[in-house]
């Protein structure tokens, strides 16, 4: 059955009635869980203050001119640096100097901070002392992921993002083969059980392995939920509805901040986060399979039942599948005539065709940069929010909350002033904000938080609209490949972002410098892209190249909106869009 005829169902039963509202909010609710697991490591992998450990009972601790009886009392005084160390005196009289990654035993038990005598150096073979003031335990303190094992901790978020990459590829294909409902059930159930399993892992390697599986499940759900809601919602509200799936992801980030503030033991924190969306696991079995997938599989009776249910809930007259099939039969010759020159050879297209000529190649590279920069900036602002000073939990909450109005502005901007005219200024604005952050003194915590919120807001708008803009820049036969390739670049950005944040060890503003340069460069290149607002979708390379001109050659009369896309094209676009948070 032609996917174009599928849109006739919405004209009959309604584009966004009571039934679609129920299905939409029930299914995207679980997207909160995806946002939770994507950012959970922000607090789970915190590295507190620490020093090399020593065996024996400590009778006194000395740090510069301050003396305390317990090492727990010394942490508020301890500001670790290259020359900083704690001097501890054991009950047996031995005096040790404890730095972060080394320890020295004084030959003369002289208990003053400055000591010029002989010392014997030892490696940290007896573990470490940790500051448990804020966190009772993290994965860092659980498995001593410090000093020479520091990169184990820094690999936690990038390896999760690699799992996201795998999950998007695997479950995107499975949803086409086995159905949307089955994959949504399996991935949402997988998120719950794998999330709980993470809390009970016995070592670092099992922790990473289970987290990768969890990432695959979370990413798989994001892929499928975009397609699922797309196939239930009519074209009149499809852009707004699909855009605001991202908003539920942002709510997940806010839940991470709240849970991190309330629960300070990493495994309990992980359990609480995992059970947050448990109600969906029990009720998602009630969600029906999409009529679009059922029709594509030839399951007409099941599709008819779902269509009847939609019509009944919405108080509209139903749409008979048999009527749609008869329309399909009457139009098959016309479809073959008008589109044969467009779709022929579609299967032979590969990524090299995105470099069809110099102009298209420049367009492709620019689009890829936008995808990459959007993802890089999104996660750099999110992950670095806990290092801004002040209350790190409140900072992350605000960084998540600022996304909600960003997607509203993105939708309004796309519809009123155009895609490029919305994308370019906000990319350049995010670059300017990065420059401004580097000028704000670090002691001004409030200004730093506000500036980072503004940066996340700006990059969030660019991040939200790029998938639809990409779809409009390419002709029909290469459209899904263009969006898919952009989505892959987006995931590379999310993998690199954690390493970018770690560059604060080189220079405190290095992440903002890199994001600012990328955003400014990308914003300037975006000026060369054509505006697509009010333009019909293109079907040939010639039409695509002439998008920037006042008049383009069109092989079909099309309304100047994205509603011209048929269901299959919209599905492909949103499968690529589901990689946005990956």
Task: Give the burial string for 410-427 (b: 16+ CB within 10 Å, else e).
Answer: bbebbeeebbbebbbbbb
Distance CA 224, CA 185 (A): 10
pLDDT at position 331 over 60: no
Question: Taking phi first (over 0 means left), then psi (-120 to 50 degrees means alpha), and beta for anything else, what does residue 144 get?
Answer: left
Last residue of one domain, picked from the residues 323, 344, 371: 323
The mean per-residue pLDDT over the stretch 522-533 comes to 92
Task: Answer yes or no: is 437 within a domain.
Answer: yes
Question: Taking phi first (over 0 means left), then psi (-120 to 50 degrees means alpha), and beta for anything else, what does residue 18 get?
Answer: alpha
Residue with tokens 């009772």: 136
pLDDT value at position 338? 42
Q: Are residues 492 and 383 located together in one domain of the fold?
A: yes
Task: Answer yes or no: is 328 within a domain.
Answer: no
pLDDT value at position 347? 47
Task: Answer yes or no: is 557 within a domain.
Answer: no
132 or 555, which is more confident: 132
pLDDT value at position 297? 83
The mean per-residue pLDDT over the stretch 432-451 comes to 91
Distance CA 513, CA 519 (A): 10
Distance CA 17, CA 74 (A): 62
pLDDT value at position 457? 96
Query: 268-317, pLDDT tens digit by residue?
Result: 999 999 998 888 888 777 889 888 888 878 888 898 898 889 888 988 88
pLDDT band at 237 (very low <50, low <70, confident <90, very high): confident
Question: pTM value?
Answer: 0.86
Backbone angles phi, psi at 253, to 5 degrees: -65, -40
Residue with tokens 């099992």: 206
491 or 404, which is more confident: 404
Task: Answer yes or no: is 429 within a domain.
Answer: yes
Q: Are residues 141 and 198 located together in one domain of the fold?
A: yes
Q: Are residues 41 and 188 located together in one domain of the fold?
A: yes
**Could you give the number of structural domains in the chain?**
3
pLDDT value at position 49? 92
pLDDT value at position 83? 67
Burial environment of residue 35 by CB neighbours within 10 A (0 to 12, 13 to 18, 19 or more): buried
pLDDT band at 239 (very low <50, low <70, confident <90, very high): confident
Q: Are residues 175 and 143 located together in one domain of the fold?
A: yes
Q: Are residues 185 and 241 located together in one domain of the fold?
A: yes
pLDDT at position 225 over 80: yes
Task: Answer yes or no: is 575 within a domain.
Answer: no
Using CA of residue 366, residue 368, residue 371, residue 373, what is the dihedral sign? negative
**Closest by alpha carbon to 323, among 13, 5, 568, 3?**
5
Residue-wise DSSP of 425-479:
HHHHHHHHHHHHHHHS-TT-HHHHHHHHHHHHHHHHHHHHHHHHHHHHHS-HHHH
Last residue of one domain, picked from the residues 113, 133, 153: 133
Quote the domain boundaries for residue 16. Answer: 1-48+136-323
Neighbours of 448 (CB within 10 A): 20
pLDDT at position 177 over 60: yes
pLDDT band at 3 (very low <50, low <70, confident <90, very high): very low
What does the chain come to in residues? Answer: 582
pLDDT value at position 557? 44
The mean per-residue pLDDT over the stretch 556-564 comes to 45
pLDDT value at position 542? 85
Q: Are residues 161 and 277 located together in one domain of the fold?
A: yes
The mean per-residue pLDDT over the stretch 135-149 comes to 94
pLDDT band at 333 (very low <50, low <70, confident <90, very high): very low
Q: Are residues 126 and 234 located together in one domain of the fold?
A: no
Distance CA 84, CA 113 (A): 10
Q: What percent of the chain has pLDDT over 70?
A: 87
Task: Answer yes or no: is 571 within a domain.
Answer: no
Residue 148: give its domain's CATH number: 1.20.1250.20
Residue-wise DSSP of 221-267:
HHHHHHHHHHTTS-TTTHHHHHHTHHHHHHHHHHHHHHHHHH--BHH
Neighbours of 357 (CB within 10 A): 10
pLDDT value at position 576? 55
Q: Considering the chain, what is the average pLDDT of its residues? A: 84
Q: Are residues 388 and 424 located together in one domain of the fold?
A: yes
pLDDT value at position 559? 42
Q: What percent of the chain has pLDDT over 90?
A: 45
Q: Are 78 and 28 in contact (CB under 8 A)?
A: no
Residue-wise DSSP of 346-357:
GGG--GGGGGSS
Residue with tokens 């966004």: 16
Work out the end-to-end distance of the chain between its first and last CA atoms, rounded to an integer number of angstroms.
Answer: 32
Lowest mean pLDDT among 93-102, 346-355, 382-391: 346-355
Query: 82-102, pLDDT tens digit by residue?
Result: 568 999 999 999 999 999 999
Q: Are residues 205 and 63 located together in one domain of the fold?
A: no
Distance CA 105, CA 128 (A): 16
The set of residues, in sequence order, having a beta carbon less than 8 Å from that of 56 and lying 6+ positions away, is 90, 91, 92, 94
pLDDT band at 265 (very low <50, low <70, confident <90, very high): very high
Q: Are residues 471 and 420 located together in one domain of the fold?
A: yes
**Closest by alpha carbon to 36, among 208, 278, 265, 310?**
278
pLDDT value at position 445? 87
Q: Are 17 and 65 in contact (CB under 8 A)?
A: no
The mean per-residue pLDDT over the stretch 470-491 comes to 81
Task: Answer yes or no: is 272 within a domain.
Answer: yes
Q: Are residues 236 and 297 located together in one domain of the fold?
A: yes
Last residue of one domain, picked from the residues 133, 159, 178: 133
Lowest mean pLDDT among 49-58, 161-170, 305-314, 533-542: 533-542
pLDDT value at position 326? 62
pLDDT band at 327 (very low <50, low <70, confident <90, very high): low
pLDDT at position 556 over 60: no
Distance CA 118, CA 296 (A): 80
Distance CA 213, CA 398 (A): 29
pLDDT band at 336 (very low <50, low <70, confident <90, very high): very low
The set of residues, in sequence order, having a beta carbon less than 8 Å from that of 163 and lying 6+ positions away, is 211, 212, 213, 214, 215, 216, 219
Residue with tokens 């016309």: 334
pLDDT value at position 346? 41
Distance CA 347, CA 48 (A): 54
Q: Are residues 373 and 522 located together in one domain of the fold?
A: yes
Interstrand relation of 119-122 and 95-98 (parallel, antiparallel or unpaired):
unpaired
The mean per-residue pLDDT over the stretch 402-428 comes to 92
Task: Answer yes or no: is 449 within a domain.
Answer: yes
């Amino acid at each position: 059955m032609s996917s174009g005829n599928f849109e006739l169902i919405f004209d009959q039963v309604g584009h966004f009635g009571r039934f679609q509202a129920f299905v939409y909010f029930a299914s995207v609710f679980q997207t909160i869980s995806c946002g939770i697991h994507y950012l959970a490591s922000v607090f789970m992998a915190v590295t507190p203050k620490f020093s090399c450990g020593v065996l024996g009972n400590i009778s006194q601790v000395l740090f510069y001119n301050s003396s305390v009886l317990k090492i727990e009392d010394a942490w508020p005084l301890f500001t670790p640096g290259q020359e900083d160390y704690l001097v501890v005196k054991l009950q047996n009289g031995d005096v040790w100097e404890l730095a972060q990654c080394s320890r020295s035993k004084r030959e003369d038990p002289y208990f003053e901070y400055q000591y010029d005598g002989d010392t014997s150096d030892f490696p940290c073979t007896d573990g470490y002392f940790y500051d448990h003031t804020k966190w009772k335990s993290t994965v860092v303190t659980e498995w001593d992921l410090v000093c020479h094992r520091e990169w184990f901790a820094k690999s936690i978020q990038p390896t999760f993002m690699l799992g996201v990459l795998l999950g998007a590829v695997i479950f995107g294909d499975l949803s086409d083969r086995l159905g949307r409902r089955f994959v949504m059930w399996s991935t949402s159930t997988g998120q719950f059980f794998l999330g709980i399993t993470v809390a009970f892992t016995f070592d670092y390697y099992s922790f990473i392995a289970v987290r990768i599986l969890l990432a695959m499940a979370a990413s798989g759900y994001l892929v499928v939920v975009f397609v699922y809601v797309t196939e239930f919602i009519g074209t009149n509200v499809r852009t707004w509805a699909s855009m605001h799936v991202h908003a539920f992801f942002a709510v997940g980030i806010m839940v991470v901040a709240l849970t991190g503030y309330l629960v300070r033991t990493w495994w309990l924190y992980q359990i609480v986060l995992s059970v947050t969306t448990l109600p969906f696991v029990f009720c998602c079995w009630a969600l029906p399979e999409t009529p679009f997938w059922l029709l594509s599989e030839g399951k007409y009776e099941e599709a008819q039942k779902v269509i009847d249910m939609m019509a009944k809930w919405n108080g509209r007259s139903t749409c008979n599948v048999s009527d749609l099939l008869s329309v399909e039969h009457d139009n098959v010759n016309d479809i073959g005539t008008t589109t044969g020159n467009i779709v022929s050879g579609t299967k032979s297209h590969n990524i090299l065709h995105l470099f069809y000529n110099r102009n298209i190649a420049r367009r492709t590279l620019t689009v890829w940069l936008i995808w990459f920069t959007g993802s890089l900036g999104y996660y750099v602002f999110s992950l670095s929010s806990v290092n801004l000073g002040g209350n790190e939990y409140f900072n992350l909450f605000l960084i998540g909350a600022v996304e909600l109005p960003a997607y509203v502005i993105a939708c309004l901007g796309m519809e009123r002033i155009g895609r490029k005219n919305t994308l370019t200024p906000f990319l350049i604005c995010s670059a300017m904000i990065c420059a401004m952050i580097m000028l704000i003194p670090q002691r001004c915590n409030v200004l730093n938080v506000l500036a980072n919120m503004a940066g996340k807001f700006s990059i969030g708008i660019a991040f939200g609209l790029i998938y639809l803009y990409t779809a409009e820049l390419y002709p029909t036969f290469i459209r899904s490949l263009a969006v898919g390739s952009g989505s892959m670049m987006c995931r590379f950005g999310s993998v690199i972002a954690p390493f970018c944040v770690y560059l604060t060890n080189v220079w405190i503003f290095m992440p903002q410098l890199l994001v600012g340069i990328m955003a400014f460069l990308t914003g300037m290149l975006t000026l060369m892209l054509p505006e697509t607002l009010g333009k019909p979708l293109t079907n040939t390379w010639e039409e695509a190249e002439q998008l920037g001109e006042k008049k383009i050659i069109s092989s079909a009369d099309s309304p100047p909106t994205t509603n011209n896309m048929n269901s299959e094209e919209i599905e492909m676009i949103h499968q690529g869009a589901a990689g946005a948070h990956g």
